[in-house]
Amino acid sequence: MRFGLGRFISVLLKEYRHILREPRTLWMIFLSPAFVLVALSFLFASGSDHVDLAVWDHDRTPMSREFTSNLDSNTDFSVTYVDGYEEIDDLLVNQRIDAAVVIPAGFGDTVRERGSGAPVQVILDGVDTVAANQATGSLLSYASSFGAKLSKQFALPSSPLQVYSQRAYSTGADRSSSMIPGLIPLVFSLPAMAAALALTRERETKTLESLVVTPVRPLEYLAGKLVAYVSTALVGLLPVWLVATVVFGVPFRGSPVLFVMTTAAFLLANMGMAIFIGNLVHSQQTATVIALFVFFVPGFFLAGLIDPIDTTNVVSAGMSYALPVTHFVTICRAIFVKGATFGEIWPSVVGLLGIAAIWIGLGALTFKKRVN
């Protein structure tokens, strides 16, 4: 049976009319990705590397004062001086500090006389693990720099290796340049959810019954729905791009054409999954729950958005790379921040196209032009 171009165009125009006339569908496809990106960006990318510290100098020697004065002059820290553990506990309970540094008595003598490492106590806010890890990294970096300075000043034994870090592609201390491009794949799961809901709504409201008596073939119907939702979602890419670059100031160093083409590949993969979900369930409520668990939850925890993919675990890595969002997170970050070309991201693009082919094929196989 041949693919009928006329029947495909008829289905395509029908889907466009449905999208434009249905406010909920139009919202999910065209506008909601930009609004959700704003919300998620403020939630995940609005933090900074600045640390609020409380300092208790129990030693009160020139050495300890030098340590605290240099700490106070460091722009990474805001220092509040205290005189005991009770004040530290009060500041932690009221969330006015991220950590506290306690310099014990004998700090200066240990450094001068023994030439060995002097202990410094760091009290972290264990409730906020993100802030605790951030404070730990900043304080370790500061302690390493201060130790190197003392080694030169007092001819003390120094570490054989001093490590200095420098940011590539991003000079700021905020996380927006990395996090916001990584959030774009998540917000572009909303058009796929809209496609799944549209298919289940047609079954639920019995409008799919009219398809049975028409000469439209299943492949023509699915192709028209895919093209309509992918092309409409691509129009919604413009407000998302404006939010990332204008509102949050994320640099865009890559090719706009490459970005649009890779987004289309990602949408095809997601739409294939959405059609497969819509073929299996006949309730919009069920489709919504399944879509949330398929598109959003794995995207946060398995796609390398927040934590790197665990390649040491074969099962975990396999699940991660089987998700379209994993490949598109890599692509978005590379195009936005690094200005990557196709030759540098082609493995992720091939992975996306392969996943798209599999899910579209499964969607076509499970779609039946009949009603129960």
CB 193 within 8 A of CB 267: no
Q: Are residues 254 and 319 in the same domain?
A: yes
Same domain, 41 and 95: no
Q: Is 272 exposed, middle or buried (0-12, 13-18, 19+ CB in 10 A)?
A: buried
Same domain flag for 38 and 127: no
Question: How confident is the model at residue 346, as a pLDDT?
Answer: 92
Q: Does 166 fall in a domain? A: no
Are 61 and 189 in a shared domain? no
pLDDT of residue 117: 61
Rounded CA-CA distance 11/42 in Å is: 40
**Which among 108, 123, 154 is the end of a domain?**
154
In tens, the pLDDT along 280-305 reads 877 778 887 887 888 877 777 778 77
Are residues 203 and 89 located together in one domain of the fold? Answer: no
Residue 247 sits in the same domain as residue 338: yes
- What percent of the chain is predicted at pLDDT more than 70? 81
E strand or H helix at 136: helix 129-154
Number of domains forming the structure of the chain: 2
Residue 254 belongs to a domain: yes
pLDDT digits (tens, 9 = 90+) for 226-268: 888 899 989 989 999 999 999 888 889 889 999 999 999 999 9
The mean-pLDDT minimum among 37-51, 158-172, 196-210, 325-339 falls in: 158-172
More confident residue, 20 or 168: 20
Amino acid at the residue 23: P
**Is 332:184 a contact under the CB 8 Å cutoff?**
yes
Q: What is the pLDDT of residue 191?
A: 87
CB 74 within 8 A of CB 217: no
If you average pLDDT over each of 174-183, 192-201, 327-336, which comes out highest?
Answer: 327-336
Q: Establish if 162 belongs to a structural domain.
A: no
Are residues 315 and 184 part of one domain?
A: yes
For residues 190 and 32, the answer to whether their CB atoms sit within 8 Å is: yes
Domain that holds residue 299: 5-45+174-366
Do residue 84 and residue 17 come from a single domain? no
Residue 356 lies in a domain: yes
Alpha-carbon Rg for the chain in angstroms: 28
Residues 253 and 132 in one domain: no
In a domain, 251, yes or no: yes
In a domain, 372, yes or no: no
Query: Within this chain, do residues 104 and 183 fall inside the same structural domain, yes or no?
Result: no
Q: In this model, does residue 348 exceed pLDDT 80?
A: yes
Task: Say if residues 197 and 287 touch (Cβ distance below 8 Å).
Answer: yes
Model-level pTM? 0.73
In a domain, 55, yes or no: yes
> Which run of H or of E encompasses 93?
helix 85-93
List the beta bridge partners of residue 103.
57
Same domain, 96 and 140: yes
CATH number of the domain that residue 130 is part of: 3.40.1710.10
Same-domain status, 286 and 352: yes
Which of these three, 121, 154, 187, is where a domain ends? 154
